[in-house]
A and B are shown apart, each in its own frame.
Chain A
Amino acid sequence: MTIDYSAARRATQEVPGIPHDADGPVFAAPWEAQAFAMTLALYDRGLFTWPEWAATLAAAIKRAQGAGDPDTGDTYYSHWLAALETIVAAKGVATHDTLHRYRDAWDHACDRTPHGKPIELRPDDFRAL
């Protein structure tokens, strides 16, 4: 796949609040870029439109603010991630339960991986749950 920079640029135009500079989006950590990349890939695949995504993200932000999020801007991608989990569930791709099971499996993989070794997910990480 070649990278569609114009898609990314369009995303920054259509989705409010994406931290960016003159060239496009900027990220405070690798996981933020990973969350952005997954969203871009799912959009590309036609899973949702940008207005749909913007609405899901706005709802996630509103929920977080209701729960006391300081709204300083540095939690933007936390909301993004929550919105991604929500839209993936809403579109019937994966339920929250499934995501949680995978999260726990990764946590298990983490626990059994000695420091200094790469963390890889194995089938028995699920069996151990």
Chain B
Amino acid sequence: MAHDHDHHHHDHDHSELSETELRVRALETVLTEKGYVDPAALDAIVEAYQTKIGPRNGARVVAKAWTDPSFKQALLDDASKAIATLGHVSRVGDHLIAVENTPQRHNMVVCTLCSCYPWEMLGLPPVWYKASPYRSRAVKDPRGVLADFGIALPKDTEIRVWDSTAETRFLVLPMRPAGTEGWSEEQLAEIVTRDSMIGTGLPTAEPKAAS
């Protein structure tokens, strides 16, 4: 069991988890069934490290789009292709679509959390993705769900909800917040949260990131 042979054969008929992921799930299930851990408590710990997980490629992509208009255009034209030119991204998939937030339109992404969730791009998926009632409410009443997350958008801003599938994934390109003039790409990437890339949060200029 100590041997770690992660395998990613791209068989698209069924789901894939790596050997490591299978072992982690096995442990969590056993420990939960025996009452040693509470999944909600584990989620809370993991969620607390949300910004400390993974390569956070999406944050870098958003920051670059904010500072480089031609990259932004390329990203909106063909996100997979544009991101491939950056050279540091693996497993983006062929069908990543970037959707841009504007004063007229806000985008939000929901997902069933299949095994191909693009965490390298978006980071850790939110816990509520696991709850299908919440997901369907996001489709039916996106404004209400956004309000739950503390986001109030102007009445005339249209809200579009995108359902992520195995074939197509979405990356929300949030609006660059005021107060970030002159920031470097690196500083900007710091304030691009997971929630802002799935449309349930808005990036803000925090002094910490500017220092």
Chain A interface (Cβ < 8 Å from any Cβ of B): 1, 3, 5, 8, 21, 23-38, 40-42, 45, 47, 60, 63-64, 67, 75, 78, 81-82, 84-85, 88, 93-94, 96, 98-100, 102-103, 105-107, 110-119, 121
A94 touching B115 by the CB < 8 A rule? no
**Across the interface, do A118 and B54 meet the contact criterion of CB distance under 8 Å?**
no
Residues of B1-48 contacting chain A, CB below 8 A = 1-2, 4, 12-17, 20-31, 34, 36-38, 40-42, 44-46, 48
Q: Identify the closest chain A residue to B30 (Cβ).
A: A94
Check B38 against A29 for contact (C-beta < 8 Å).
Answer: no
Within 8 Å CB of A113, what residues of B?
A: 14-15, 114-115
Residues of A within 8 A of B52 (CB): 21, 23-27, 33
Set of chain B residues within 8 Å of A82, measured between Cβ atoms:
1-2
**Contact indicator B31/A118 (Cβ below 8 Å):** no
Is B37 touching A103 in the complex (CB atoms < 8 A)? no
Q: Does B116 contact A (CB under 8 A)?
A: yes
CB within 8 Å for A99 and B27 given contacts A1-B38, A37-B45, A85-B1: yes
Query: What are 10 contact pairs spanning A and B, CB under 8 A?
Result: A29-B119, A30-B119, A35-B27, A63-B2, A64-B2, A85-B1, A94-B30, A99-B23, A102-B30, A117-B112
Interface size on B, residues (CB 8 A): 49
Contact of B41 among A31, A41, A98, A116 (CB under 8 A): A41
Complex Cα distance A107/B23, Å? 10
Bound Cα distance from A115 to B169, whole angstroms: 13
| Inter-subunit contact A1/B16 (CB<8 Å) | no
Q: List residues of chain B with CB within 8 A of the CB of A3.
A: 44-45, 48
A48 to B195, CA, bound (A): 35
B30 touches A116 (CB 8 A): no
Judging by beta carbons under 8 Å apart, are A84 and B27 in contact? yes
Q: Give the A-binding residues of B (Cβ under 8 A).
A: 1-2, 4, 12-17, 20-31, 34, 36-38, 40-42, 44-46, 48-49, 52-55, 112-116, 119, 124-125, 130, 165-167
Question: Across the interface, which residues of A come within 8 angstroms of B15, CB to CB?
Answer: 110-111, 113-115, 117, 119
Report the bound CA distance from A40 to B46 in whole Å.
11
The interface residues of chain B lying within 8 Å CB-to-CB of A115 are 12-15, 114-116, 166
Q: Specify which chain B residues have a CB less than 8 angstroms from the CB of A75 in the assembled complex.
A: 4
* B34 and A93 contact, CB distance less than 8 A: yes
